[in-house]
Amino acid sequence: MKNLSILLSLLFIISSCTVIRQGEVGVKRKLGKINPDVYYAGIYGINPFFTKVIKTPTRTENLELNLSLPSKEGLSIQSEISILYRIKEEMAPVIIEDIGQNYVRNAILPVFRSAASDISANFMAKDMHSGKRKQIETEIKERMTEVLAERGFIIEEVLMKSIELPSELSAAIERKLQAEQESMSMDFILEIERKEAERRRIEAEGNRDAQKILAEGLNDAIIQLRSIEAFKELAKSPNAKVIITDGKTPLLIPGNQ
């Protein structure tokens, strides 16, 4: 009997204690009334018959959704979206009292669906698959923050992880991208050809200028000097040869002819 009494006492003590872990806060509800105080990580004693501690996570939560978003031209775009959010610790009692424990379904989801539809309807379908995706994410986040911040929620990020465009539009975008790539490739080839043509033109002008300079530099005295130098070189050669000249320019005839 004594052992049973001790066991019951231990069970009562255990049931009279609650543990709040890191990353969450506790809100006491006594006889149906929410206590405005916030209880942080630790061990607390309660009266299990009249009091209940509601534990609410304060760490960042990831809410993933698959949603059909309208576009400016009236198309439906399938998108996988993540919402990173958390609650303000000091607002936990207000959230539990005004919205309830299922605040994701009662507050966050309705606000997100409304904001996402309103914002995406201002953009073309192709914008959701381009660099404007970040702008769409930012505008949805700002719209949600306007509504939810005063109710105790912090929207950290809205991320559009995947976008599924209608097959016809997707094919059209791919064709456009392919045409743009082909155009860029052709522009590159044309630029190479232009540079090569410019190189040949400069080379031709250089040869022309060299010939012009050479022609302008030739006179009778230089021609005669070059002839004398040619005679000297011929004289050094051991081969037999016949030289016919007018004294200015030599004409070489091999000796075996």
Q: How far is it, in rounded angstroms, from Cα 218 to Cα 82?
A: 85
What pLDDT was estimated at residue 255?
47
CB 153 within 8 A of CB 107: yes
Secondary element (H or E) of residue 186:
helix 167-217
Stated pTM of the model: 0.60
What pLDDT was estimated at residue 186?
76
- The closest of 124, 109, 119 to 155, measured between CA atoms, is 109
Q: How far is it, in rounded angstroms, from Cα 188 to Cα 156?
A: 44
What pLDDT was estimated at residue 202?
82
Q: What is the pLDDT along the chain (257 residues), one digit of tens a residue?
A: 555 555 545 454 555 678 888 889 989 888 888 888 888 888 877 777 788 888 899 999 999 998 888 888 788 888 899 999 999 999 999 999 999 889 999 999 999 999 999 999 998 887 877 778 899 999 999 999 999 999 999 999 999 888 876 666 555 555 665 666 667 777 778 788 888 888 888 877 777 766 666 666 556 666 666 666 666 666 666 666 666 665 555 544 444 44
Catalogue all structural domains in the chain, each as residue range(s) with its CATH number. Answer: 2-57 (no CATH), 61-170 (3.30.479.30), 220-254 (no CATH)
- The β-bridge relationship of strands 51-57 and 17-20 is unpaired
Gyration radius of the chain's alpha carbons: 45
